[in-house]
Structure 1
Amino acid sequence: MSKAERTRQFIIEQTAPVFNKQGYAGTSLNDLTAATGLTKGAIYGNFENKEEVALAAFEHNLAFVSNGLRASATQTAPAREKLLALPRFYRHAYAELRARGGCPILNTAVEVDDGPPSPLRRRVEETLRGWRGNLVRIIEAGQQAGELKPAADALRYATVFMALIEGGVLLAKATNDPQALFTTLDHLEQLIETELVA
C-alpha cells in the first residue's frame, strides 16, 4: 500500500465506529479529526466529502458482518447449515457488534430510510436486497437438492429471517438485554428446523 492508501485506510478504520454509533448526521468533521488525530485538510485530502468517508466507513463496518457470516458456513455446506450459520454468527458476534455500536446495516438503514436519495441510502438498499437475494438462493438451492421443503416460499422466509435478526438486534441494544436477540435467534433456528428442513 502507498502512503496515501495507508492514510485513507487509517481514516476509515478510525471513523467507522464513530459513524456506526453516532450516524452520518450526528458525526461532525470535528468528530472525524478527534477520532483520527488528523487535520480537516488531511481528511479531505483523502476523501471528497463527509459522505464519502461515511460510505467507506459503512463498507468497513459491513465487512465485519459479511466476513463473519461467510466464515460461519462453507460454500459447499448443505442449505440447512448455511441457514443455521445466520443465528450462530449473530449469537457469537453480538457482544462485538454491540461494542462497535450495533449492526451497521440496521443503524444506517434507520438513519437514511426517510432521507433524500444519496449514495449511502442506495448502498444500504443494495445491501438489504443482496442479503435477501442470497437467502432466497440458498433456500431455492436447498429445495432443488431435496434438503428443504419444496413448498416453502423462499422470499417469505428470507424476509422473515432478516426481520427476526435485525429486530432482535434492535431490541437487545435498546433494552440492554442480549436475551431479546437470543430469543429471536432461537425462533429462527426453530423455523429452519421445523418448517424448512425436509
Structure 2
Amino acid sequence: MRKGEATRQRIIAEAAPIFNQRGFDGCSMQDLMTATGLEKGGLYRHFANKEDLAAEAFRFALAQNVKVRTEHLDEIPNSINKLKKVVQLFVDLPSAIPGGCPLMNTAIDADDGNPALRDLARKGIQDWRTRLIRIIDTGIKAGEIRRSTEPRRIANTIIATLEGALMISRLENSRTALRDAQSSLDALLTSLERHA
C-alpha cells in the first residue's frame, strides 16, 4: 500500500469513532484534525470534503461490525442455527467501533439532513436484509425451514427487533431488552423449523 493510501486509511479509521459517537453535525473539522494529527489541508488532500470523509468512515465502521458479526457463520451447517448465531453475535458483541451500532447511529443522524449518508445507511440495511434472506432461502431449499416462510418478512423482523432492542438497551443502560429480543427471536426461528 502506498504511503498516501495508508494515510487515507488511517484517517478513516481514526475518524470513524468520532462520527459514530457525535454524528455528522456534531463532529467538527477541529475534532478530526485533533484525532488525526493533520491540518485541514492534510485532510482535504485525501477527501473532497467532510461529507466524503464521513461516508468513508461510515463504510469502514459498518464493514468492521459486519466482519465481527459474520465471522465463522459459514462453519454452522444448519440455517436455523446460523440465524440464531447471527442474533447471538449481535446481542453479545459490542460494536467494533466506539459509539454503538454505526447503522442505527447514521440512519438516525442522517434521516433529515444528509441524503448521502442516509443512502449509505439504507444500503447497509438492504445488504443486511439480503444476507439474512440468503440464509433463509438456503434453509428452505435444504428442507430445514418451512416452505411457507417469507424470507423478507423474517429478515425485516430480525433487523427491526435487534435494532429496536439495542436502542432500548442503550437508553436504559441495561442489556435486558437485547436479551428479551434474543429470546423472542430464538422462539420465532425455532417455529420456522421444518419437521420431517
**TM-score, with length taken from structure 2:** 0.92
Q: What's the C-alpha RMSD, in Å, of the aligned pairs?
A: 1.7
Q: 2:47 is aligned with what amino acid?
A: F
- The code of the aligned residue for 1:117 comes to P
2:147 aligned partner:
150
* 149 and 126 in structure 1: CA distance in 2 versus 1, 3 angstrom threshold: same
Which of residues 132, 135, 140 in structure 2 aligns to 1:138?
135
1:12 to partner: Cα distance: 0.8
Q: Following TM superposition, by how much is the alpha carbon of 1:113 offset from its aligned partner in structure 2, in angstroms?
A: 2.0
The DSSP-based 3-state class of the residue aligned with 1:102 is: coil
Cα distance in 1, alignment partners of residues 72 and 175 from structure 2? 20
Equivalent position of 2:46 in the other structure: 46
In the alignment, structure 1 segments of 5+ residues that lack a partner are: none
Matches within 5 A, 1:109-128: 109-115=107-113, 117-118=115-116, 120-128=117-125
Change (3 A) 1:144 1:99: closer
Partner of 1:90: 90
Indicate if the aligned counterparts of 2:16 and 2:97 stay in contact, CA closer than 8 A.
no
Corresponding residue number in structure 1 for 2:172: 175
How much does 1:104 deviate? 0.4
The residue that corresponds to 1:100 in the other structure is 98
Contact 1:112/1:121 (<8 A) preserved:
yes
Aligned residues: 194
Alpha-carbon separation, structure 2, partners of 1:86 and 1:76? 11
Q: Structure 2: 5+ residue runs without aligned partners?
A: none
1:67 aligns with: 67
In the alignment, what sits opposite 2:182?
185
Contact 1:72–1:85, Cα closer than 8 Å, also in 2: no
Q: Which residue of 1 aligns with 2:26?
A: 26
Measure the CA separation in 2 of the matches of 1:181 and 1:143. Answer: 27
TM superposition shift of 1:167: 0.6
SS in 2 for 1:13: helix
Judge conservation of contact 1:62–1:105 (CA < 8 Å) in 2: yes
Normalising by structure 1, what TM-score?
0.91
Q: Which amino acid counterpart does residue 15 of structure 1 have in structure 2?
A: A
Percent identical among aligned pairs is: 36
Shift of 1:168: 1.1
Residue pair 1:83, 1:192 contacting (<8 A) in 2 also = yes
1:29, 1:50 within 8 Å by CA — same for their partners in 2?
yes
SS at match of 1:177: coil
Shift of 1:133: 2.0
SS class of match (2:25): coil
Contact 2:24 2:54 in 1 (8 A): yes
Cα distance in 1, alignment partners of residues 36 and 109 from structure 2? 23
SS of 2:74's equivalent in the other structure is: coil
